């Protein structure tokens, strides 16, 4: 079994032996390394230069068209014309910071909040998911007067200092910060212990709360990505988060749902938390919110935001500027006009069925999970242990067949299947046939 994988190590170009690459590509890589240095991260054994996007496709510099099943940022489709023209029209009219009255911004906020349960009626806009989670942590500390946070073992919530501390998958080395407690993602522990996903997750959160309280740090909040994407994608059974939310509330803490990955329809419902029939205290948003235009947000109860603002208040120069609002508004239009949430359900179900058939055919597929158009497929070795090398080989072989997919999970052995929501049954057929060919050849 391979060891725990840092998130940025998954499907990473390692810069090692470049002798198999063309002279032109080697030159580009050297130029990039000389400017971006050690922080440069690229995908694939042979990095790709992309120049255009359209719907579910990405086109590289040689004109090769790839089926993109990797990318949940352009969630309504790459370069969607309605979103592009909304951004262009607003940029041509006015783009300023956020301290003037602005009708596009206010109208967008009201429209977006209409998609949330009653009580979650305040929106603060940011530029990234990391900023949104950073603010969520600050709100939770202000509301509870405590500083302890609970996250899942392979969580990723972003890149600010505070958020990196609650993102164990960011670092392969540093120990968990003293104010952070880790719990296993719902299914891993539950499968090992015989199946009570909801009960076992709630119990482990309860133990972590007790530990934080005993340490004197105190419990502020549990923050979970409601599809558990970096943990390996755990969606079922729907409803399993409810007992945990009750335990969090009984302990006086807040439940933060990170919707940066599952939000805006991907799992077949508008929000990942809706599948669990819960109302979180704070919801954080990002990636698909602007279909590629950088925007994020925090949705919470007015009393929580007021409590936070009594001490500091919040201002973000670019968060919620009018161009961002135009992008966000256009995304909501497309989700409705093209029925994309229903498509995530129906085409997602079809794709999952196809993956289950492959599982029956290929014993190295250890499991298929997910919801809507966010699916995970585990690879295991002959002994049934996670097989990261196989996942990596399949990802690179699929790339040769012009299909892009990613990896996830503690051991990096889970194929992360997450196409734009305009993905059709024909695209699903193309993917399943290519995956079958790759597995036959493995
Ligand atoms: C679940 C989750 N939360 C937050 C973030 C951070 O978002 P951003 O990269 O926009 O700061 C990510 C990014 O991958 C994420 O997957």
pLDDT in tens, 210-229: 999 999 999 999 999 999 99
- The answer to whether residue 140 scores a pLDDT higher than 80 is yes
Task: State the DSSP code for 177.
Answer: P
In order of 49, 288, 305, 318, 322, the CA distances from 125 in angstroms are 32, 14, 13, 9, 11
Residue 127 three-state SS: coil
What is the CA(129)–ligand 1 centre distance, in A? 5
pLDDT of residue 189: 62
Q: Which band of pLDDT confidence, cut at 50, 70 and 90, is reported for residue 1?
A: very low
Q: CA-to-CA distance for 285 and 124, rounded, in angstroms?
A: 10
Nearest CA to ligand 1 atom 3: 157
What is the CA(106)–ligand 1 centre distance, in A? 25
In order of 209, 216, 282, the CA distances from 305 in angstroms are 24, 25, 10
Residue in 129, 134, 231 to alter for ligand 1 test, most ligand atoms within 8 A of Cβ: 129
Residues near ligand 1 (Cβ within 6 A): 128-130, 133, 156-159, 225, 229, 258, 260-261, 286-287
- Residues 386-422: pLDDT tens digits? 999 999 999 999 999 999 999 999 899 999 999 999 9
User: Going by DSSP bridges, is the β-strand pair 148-152/180-183 parallel, antiparallel, or unpaired?
Assistant: parallel
What is the CA(150)–ligand 1 centre distance, in A? 17
Q: Are 143 and 282 in contact (CB under 8 A)?
A: no
Q: Are 158 and 324 in contact (CB under 8 A)?
A: no
Q: CA-to-CA distance for 7 and 95, rounded, in angstroms?
A: 35
Mean pLDDT over 99-120 rounds to 97
Residue in 286, 290, 295 to alter for ligand 1 test, most ligand atoms within 8 A of Cβ: 286
What is the CA(78)–ligand 1 centre distance, in A? 19
Which phi and psi angles does 122 have, rounded to 5°?
A: -120, 140
Q: CA-to-CA distance for 110 and 122, rounded, in angstroms?
A: 9
Nearest CA to ligand 1 atom 2: 157
Q: Are 104 and 326 in contact (CB under 8 A)?
A: yes
Mean pLDDT over 203-209 rounds to 97
Q: CA-to-CA distance for 293 and 298, rounded, in angstroms?
A: 17
Instruction: Domains for the chain: give ranges and CATH numbers.
Output: 48-76+339-441 (3.90.1150.10), 81-337 (3.40.640.10)
Q: CA-to-CA distance for 179 and 208, rounded, in angstroms?
A: 11
| pTM, 2 dp | 0.96
**Which residues are bridge partners to 181 per DSSP?**
150
């Amino acid at each position: 079994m391979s060891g725990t994988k840092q998130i940025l190590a998954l499907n990473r170009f390692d810069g090692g032996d470049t002798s198999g690459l063309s002279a032109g590509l080697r030159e580009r890589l050297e130029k990039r390394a000389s400017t971006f240095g050690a922080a440069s991260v690229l995908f694939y054994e042979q990095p790709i230069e992309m120049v255009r996007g359209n719907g579910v496709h990405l086109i590289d510099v040689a004109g090769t068209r790839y089926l993109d099943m990797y990318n949940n940022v352009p969630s309504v489709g790459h370069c969607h014309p309605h979103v592009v023209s909304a951004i262009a029209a607003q940029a041509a009219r006015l783009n300023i910071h956020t301290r003037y009255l602005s009708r596009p911004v206010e109208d967008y906020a009201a429209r977006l909040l209409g998609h949330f349960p009653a009580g979650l009626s305040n929106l603060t806009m940011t530029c990234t998911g990391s900023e949104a989670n950073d603010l969520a942590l600050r709100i939770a500390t202000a509301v509870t007067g405590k500083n302890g946070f609970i996250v899942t073992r392979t969580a990723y919530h972003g890149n600010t200092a505070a958020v990196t501390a609650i993102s164990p998958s960011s670092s392969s080395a540093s120990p968990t910060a003293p104010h952070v407690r880790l719990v296993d993602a719902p299914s891993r522990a539950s499968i090992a212990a015989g199946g009570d996903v909801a009960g076992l997750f709630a119990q482990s959160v309860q133990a972590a709360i007790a530990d934080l309280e005993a340490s004197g740090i105190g419990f502020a909040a549990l923050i979970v990505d409601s599809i558990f994407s970096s943990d390996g994608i755990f969606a079922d059974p729907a409803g399993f988060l409810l007992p945990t939310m009750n335990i969090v509330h009984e302990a006086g803490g807040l439940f933060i749902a990170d919707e940066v990955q599952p939000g805006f329809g991907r799992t077949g419902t508008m929000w990942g938390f809706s599948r669990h029939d819960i109302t979180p205290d704070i919801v954080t948003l990002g990636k698909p919110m602007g279909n590629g235009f950088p925007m994020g947000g925090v949705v919470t109860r007015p009393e929580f935001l007021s409590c936070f603002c009594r001490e500091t208040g919040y201002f973000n120069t670019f968060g919620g500027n009018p161009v961002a609002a135009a992008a966000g508004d256009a995304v909501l239009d497309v989700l409705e006009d093209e029925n994309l949430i229903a498509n995530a359900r129906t085409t997602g179900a079809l794709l999952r069925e196809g993956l289950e058939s492959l599982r029956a055919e290929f014993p190295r597929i250890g499991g298929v999970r997910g919801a809507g158009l966010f699916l995970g497929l585990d690879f295991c070795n002959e002994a049934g242990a996670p097989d990261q090398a196989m996942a990596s080989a399949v990802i690179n072989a699929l790339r040769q067949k012009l299909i892009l997919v990613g990896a996830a999970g503690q051991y990096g052995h889970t194929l992360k299947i997450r196409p734009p929501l305009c993905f059709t049954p024909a695209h699903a057929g193309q993917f399943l046939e290519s995956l079958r060919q790759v597995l036959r050849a493995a």
